[in-house]
Amino acid sequence: VDALAHPEDSEFESALRPKRLDDFHGQPRVRDQLGLVLEAARFRGTSPDHVLLSGPPGLGKTTLAMIMAVELDSNLRISSGPAITHAGDLAAILTGLDAGDVLFLDEIHRLARPAEELLYLAMEDFRVDVVVGKGPGATAIPIELPPFTLVGATTRAGLLPGPLRDRFGFTAQLDFYAAADLGGIVRTSARKLGVDIRSDAADEIAGRSRGTPRIANRLLRRVRDYAQVGGHPVVAVAEARQALELYEVDELGLDRLDRSVLTALCKLFAGGPVGLSTLALSVGEEVETISEVAEPFLIREGLMMRTARGRVATPAGWRHLGMEPPAGSTP
Ligand code: ADP
């Protein structure tokens, strides 16, 4: 997936993050709704309701959590579901919070069950029960927590157990970005990086970024490398195209992983239907990588479908690989 990633990318990622809600491109509905949540909290002088952000990786969930803390003028604490292996880890984080803090929990759907139960109480009553001792002599000591706002992030809200989902006062579903919004993000990032890029070259990058700001920023950096090494002080559309071709990102934005999934589906499994785990195995990737990164994009582009019997290539999928769909294949 990250064939195009460089070790310094995460550094650049933080440098390119918008700091305020007004600088956050796209997602107008989420921005308006979140703006209102923040405004109301400021008006009342209280911590806003807990917020759940869902959507594929790289769409701005972490960025929004950071923006919330900035807009509320409060501290941001960051952790993630997989990093919390015991309920005690979470209790330590929660009891260390100051009043008004924003706690960002990434991949909250991967929180261990005991930690999840502890979180219910913390979200609802701002309290944790710390169990001391073992067996029949064990006692639960309640500890009051200061008011805080939990911002949970997940790739799909449906992955969360109902009781956890219900405890968020506001849920925002982030969607893939429109090309025009991504173009704006590329131009802003180019300015921040000091890259002189023509507007149509920025649009070219945006059009191949799978609706995802993180990918747009990453492709911009690869294009910049290419232009610098090739001695092009201004990035025009020709350089952008050549660079993206070199990095095997095609006109629709499919990268090597997407193409290998689609190719396996058509060539190895005659267009499907095939199960997700079989498909993942055949391209040597984790099931999660396929289901959360490649598949949502391929489905959105109309190249692949999810059916009750498994994954199926669409005629457009076959044609994208330069092959004719077999007669009688699903439309
Ligand atoms: P997520 O947490 O959803 O995986 P991030 O918040 O880490 O995504 O965003 C990934 C990168 O994309 C960051 O560098 C961020 O600057 C950029 N980005 C995301 N959304 C936007 C946006 N709406 N406007 C500008 N840049 C964005």
| Sheet containing strand 170-173, strands side by side | 76-80, 102-106, 149-154, 51-54, 170-173
Distance CA(264)–CA(277), nearest Å, equals 13
The answer to whether 156 touches 199, Cβ cutoff 8 Å, is no
- pTM comes to 0.89
**Reduced to 3 states, what is the DSSP secondary structure of residue 14?**
helix
| pLDDT mean for each 10 residues of the chain (331 residues) | 62 87 94 96 93 94 96 95 93 96 96 93 94 86 95 91 94 93 96 95 96 95 94 94 94 93 96 94 93 90 94 96 82 52
Write down the ipTM of this complex: 0.99
| Contacting residues for 233 by C-beta, under 8 A, at least 6 apart | 196, 227
Find out whether 168 is annotated in a ligand binding site. no
| Catalytic residue list contains 2 | no
pLDDT score at 2: 53
Q: From 225, 251, 256, 253, select the one nearest 239 (Cα to Cα).
A: 225
Find out whether 126 is annotated in a ligand binding site. yes
- pLDDT, one tens digit per residue, over 1-32 is 455 666 667 777 888 999 999 999 999 999 99
Protein residue with its CA nearest to atom 20 in ligand 1: 60
- pLDDT, one tens digit per residue, over 89-116 is 999 999 999 999 999 999 999 999 999 9
Annotated catalytic residue within 31, 61, 210, 221: 61
